[in-house]
Structure 1
């Protein structure tokens, strides 16, 4: 069964080369499938992937359809929170689904993040460890303290960390898969931008009452 994957062709099982009229695109799962013709000017390969993700052929993709289609390099599915974050970014008309034009932006976004992930996954483990995470965030302009880096690893690591193990060193923290790496970086960016908007005098301090604090956090995707 064809899968719309999140990884580069070799490591993540990306889309196979598309050839116009190729028999591999004439059916789906061994059964004949008649996908609707692509819109004028649309990339045929990208339209083929969109149609394969749009299981009910509604012309738009739901969060559930997107989650079933996206997988990491170890073939684990994207977690739902990351899928919802992507939906929120690219559902520009706030319909709750993603149309083909929105899907085109999402596809490019994921491909761009693949390059970032592969660049910082120095040991080619398929996950991002603490040192690689620090290097990535520093490159993005976010210099976090060691304590915050450990918290990020614990929150977004691919294996849940039991409460009893919260004192373990940062080096022992679980690696971060592609989907969680994207989410961690986007969340840090969003929180930093929200803080900067409140820090009007740029002194690194913000005075918030409880209501304003909740409002700031709850309005984040």
Structure 2
């Protein structure tokens, strides 16, 4: 079962997933503009920013994760987001194998895996540079549906400067980030039962066909398939059954 709660780091979320039933397929992870620090099967690793749907390959077992707000992870991890785009990387490759192994053992020994992972990130954040307020402003404006050009003007950056800084902070340029955040807004409305055409317009798409193309391109599925799969996950299943993601 998936559970999440706000983390002690501003804008971050702590989450956990219990062991999956035998035969249950992995649920694709859709792009959301975020990066995660994860623990699974005694291993700590980082999920970089995705540009398309990712199907987990870690197998059964328990997962714990901390999802950073868009743009926050690079300062804490010490690596540009673009270096981790569409990648899952062992923490040892970033912080050193011995240190990563000690931290993974500390998390594994804790009664609350997610809480231990959060504490690890909080400790690291005390010594890491703070996120640039300008980057936070960019993320907030794009998440609210403001145009890229207007966002550049509002934060006082030229188009090239905004693109370069976005690559470091988010893993891709501002136009790609805006598309991903727009899709997330639309899918949240779909999950709430809003008709597709209305969800498209409210999220900032030109029309339903535009949203359908973006869903296919970024999520690798169709609107109807996404809504159907979400309904299956939200509907209690008889004992011994599983849902298909």
Comparing both chains, which one has the higher relative contact order based on Cα–Cα distances under 8 Å and sequence gaps of 6 or more? 2
TM tier relative to shorter chain: under 0.3
The structure whose Rg is larger is 1
**TM-score (structure 2 length as normaliser):** 0.25
Of Structure 1 and Structure 2, the greater strand share is in 2
